[in-house]
Structure 1
Amino acid sequence: INQDIQQRVISYMDYEGWDSAAVQFYITSIYTKSIYEAMSRVSHKLVSYVNVLETLLNSLCYNSSLDKAYLFDMQTKLFIATDSSPSVSKSHEFCCSTIGLVEDLTKMYSRFQMGPNGQQNSHLTSVIHLQANISIFSYQVNERLILVCLSSDKISQKTSLLAFNARKVTTALQRVLEFSSSRTNSRISNSRTNTSLLIDSHESIEQN
């Protein structure tokens, strides 16, 4: 079925004269959480500054000894960006479950305290250890976005370091988002402006 769909799509695009367009196919199902990963792959292609976010997440993984890091939209459970390391088949499912748990805990036990300027004063942090020797660290960037990181090592001994590094990356993320919102009609590329956004945050991330 998958091969037949691909052939029909490519044939239709050739017929319409769209043969130069790049097409990618993802095997998924609306009945499993794989649909979130497939839609994430599509949506993050539309983010013009995804390379900037990937660089930040690469830095977080390197300096904190993490295997994988995602920036998720909590409402849709789609990741906006991830680091450049390969994804594990179950990693996205673990992340979605973590986000669901964080949402439940937030509703039950806490509400975000917002400052007079609309800035968030506190960040929800969680550490979850799974039986499959996987630890998940999450750090809420704002009411909509959350960092979810995976590690094959137990990270309970370095929670403070992870929180510090995540806070620095969050500051850089907020600057990127603010820059993007003020320039909605322009695309962010690897320019000197983007480089200056990253240097401050990278220099302040501590080495594990």
Structure 2
Amino acid sequence: MWKKFKRNFAPYFLYFVVKFIYMTNKKVYHHPRNNDKEPFIVCMWHGDLLSQIFNYHTFRDRGIVKAMVSENRDGETITKLASMFKIGAIRGSSSKGATKVLINALKELKTGNDIAITPDGPRGPRHSIADGIVVIAQKSGKNIRCFNSVPTKYWQFKSWDKFILPKPFGKIDFYISEPFSVQDIDLEEAKTLIKDKMLVHTIK
């Protein structure tokens, strides 16, 4: 009974909570001027993913983004919540349906849609970079942009990703990096480059 309730009603509850939190916070956007409309790969930490809904839509007011979401039950909740914010989903992970996810991600980028990836999800370790984002970037030839947010007041949960939920009536600084490429560099070098850029504006 509880599982059914959680699956059906949790996304709606979270939607209103998130809307209230971001409505009551002062928002400061540190966005690059370069918004060339080329499809790109959104890179965001798993523990910071809720904030990136607002970060993305402010930067891409008419863009289409598909987020890579795991196949587990939490993934169902995230998928429903994302759809309320007009964000699509590509279901799967590195441990389940990896080939399908890769093919679908490449198709979305080729179509002209952005895709969003949490390189340390769905199980961590926190702030790690999995191979998937590098493979997709190199096979598609598309650039990566790092998305981060830093609230002045927040709750930090005791989950593996130390999930961040901003408190109401504070200020949130939103960051998006300039686009960068990982073409023509080896896997480990590419992962180090992405992690270094992501950690510039990250709550420890």
Which band: TM-score by shorter chain?
Answer: 0.3 to 0.5
TM normalised by structure 2 equals: 0.34
Structure whose residues are more often strand by fraction:
2
The normalised TM-score by structure 1 is 0.34
Larger Rg, first or second structure (1 or 2): 1
